[in-house]
Amino acid sequence: MDKERMEQGVKMFLEGLGLDATDQHLRRTPERVVKAWMEEFGNGYLLTPDKVLTVEFSEPDSTDGLVIVRNIPFYSHCAHHLVMFDGTADVGYLPKKGRITGISKLARIVDMYSHRLQVQERLTFQVAKCLYDGLDARGVGVIMRAQHACMTCRGAKKPGSETVTSTLLGEIRDDPQLRNEFLTLCTTE
């Protein structure tokens, strides 16, 4: 990330709005915005799956069923409008016999991809594909539910609307029983 260029861009944006970038409330805004993007909103660009999926356990007798982490909170920024969308992700995988990962890694992969400029459809697929390939899983399912500021605060102006996306890969997609089990577990309170 090029901190200096980013700060210049924010300053130009403020000036483009007709604001005085030297005003006491705006003087440090470029620095603050860049810090937020480098440390939080955009830190997913600094990570790769191999840096996140680092923990693997050998469990030869206990990996026949689905592993699901539900209601993982996430936030991202829309690639079209640079406004936030946020919601929850349900992420599950069917481990390859004898090979599991720490469950926190599922949430960390959601964070890695959501902390980039996104569209929800691509985000859902990226999380699923990363886990499918990175864990050599027999199957992966990801369901994401989010509210988008570009839908609620501008344009259509439909507060409370929720966008739901899903990606199912491998046996979770192909086996009707597994697919049904995954979907049921993700929707049961």
3-state secondary structure the chain: CCHHHHHHHHHHHHHHCCCCCCCCCCCCHHHHHHHHHHHHHCHHHHCCHHHHCCCEEEECCCCCCCEEEEEEEEEEEECCCCCEEEEEEEEEEECCCEEEECCHHHHHHHHHHHCCEECHHHHHHHHHHHHHHHCCCCEEEEEEEEEEHHHHCCCCCCCCCCEEEEEEEEHHHHCHHHHHHHHHHHHCC
Res. 189: pLDDT tops 90: no
pLDDT tens-digit readout, 24-37: 999 999 999 999 99
Q: What percent of the chain stands above pLDDT 70?
A: 98
Contact 93, 133 (CB under 8 A): no
pLDDT tens-digit readout, 36-47: 999 999 999 999
Q: How far lies 62's CA from each of 66, 94, 155, in Å?
A: 10, 11, 49
The domain limits of the chain are 3-41, 51-187
- pTM to 2 decimal places: 0.94
Res. 91: pLDDT tops 80: yes
pLDDT, position 62: 65
Of 39-53, 57-71, 77-91, 144-158, give the lowest mean pLDDT range: 57-71
Distance, CA of 27 to CA of 29 (rounded, Å):
6
**Structure tokens belonging to residue 70:** 């539900």
Using 50, 70 and 90 to split pLDDT, how confident is the model at 54? confident
Mean pLDDT across the chain: 94
pLDDT, position 56: 78
51-187, CATH topology level? GTP Cyclohydrolase I, domain 2 (3.30.1130)
Of 6-20, 93-107, 119-133, give the lowest mean pLDDT range: 93-107
**Structure tokens belonging to residue 123:** 């985000």
Average pLDDT value for residue range 153-178: 95
